[in-house]
Chains A and B, each alone.
Chain A
Amino acid sequence: DTAVSQTPKYLVTQMGNDKSIKCEQNLGHDTMYWYKQDSKKFLKIMFSYNNKELIINETVPNRFSPKSPDKAHLNLHINSLELGDSAVYFCASVKSGQGIGNEQFFGPGTRLTVL
């Protein structure tokens, strides 16, 4: 009965490779996010999708491309991986509308290590 799940949990890859990480939520939420947490634990939003439409797109290299096939899924594809992409990537979801009692749920994270 996992709420927000991510795969894989760990990803180790060589510089220059292309990789994808996936996120799924079974909460009936309509908005999903990708965050990057660096080695200093700073959480920074990357993208947000509401009903499969991109609504937040922070300054992220073009090598990162999110895709939302439906409201329950948000994937992140990364091309030409660089050393600086090493981080923990968190997916989160929320149901849009008035915020009271209705805040983001986070997934367990995907730790990406680029060698």
Chain B
Amino acid sequence: GQQLNQSPQSMFIQEGEDVSMNCTSSSIFNTWLWYKQDPGEGPVLLIALYKAGELTSNGRLTAQFGITRKDSFLNISASIPSDVGIYFCAGRRFKTSYDKVIFGPGTSLSVIP
């Protein structure tokens, strides 16, 4: 079945550093999503991407929809302690929002003050 891979699996960084993580798939997706999960909470949508090559920012976060439609990247600039959490990428084959979303295994981010 469809599967997403995320790397790195976990990261420990100093406050103020920039962070990069990516998500790859063997299948093409038409929508890429990035969610963040804080401890004890549900995932929260950070950025949604709908077009190959699209680059979208949300504050210090920037995500890109890979041109092959098989990958996506998330960058966080000038990390702060509240960036700690698990970052999930997710892909959807079709643009209809109720279609099944496949989640990656997550990247766990720890920020050292």
What is the size, in residues, of chain B's interface with A at 8 Å between Cβ atoms? 25
Chain B residues with CB under 8 A of A41: 37, 86, 105-106, 108
Given contacts A96-B96, A99-B95, contact A45 B101 (CB under 8 A): yes
Number of A-B contacts (CB under 8 A): 69
Binary B-proximity of A36-53 (CB < 8 A = 1, otherwise 0): 000011111100101000
A99 touches B103 (CB 8 A): no
Interface of B is mostly: strand
Given contacts A40-B105, A41-B105, contact A98 B97 (CB under 8 A): yes
A44 to B43, CA, bound (A): 13
Residues of A within 8 A of B (CB): 4, 31, 40-45, 48, 50, 55-56, 90, 92, 94-109
Q: List 19 A-B contacts (CB under 8 A).
A: A41-B86, A41-B106, A42-B106, A43-B88, A43-B103, A44-B103, A45-B101, A48-B100, A56-B100, A95-B97, A96-B97, A97-B96, A99-B31, A100-B50, A103-B45, A103-B97, A105-B45, A106-B44, A109-B41
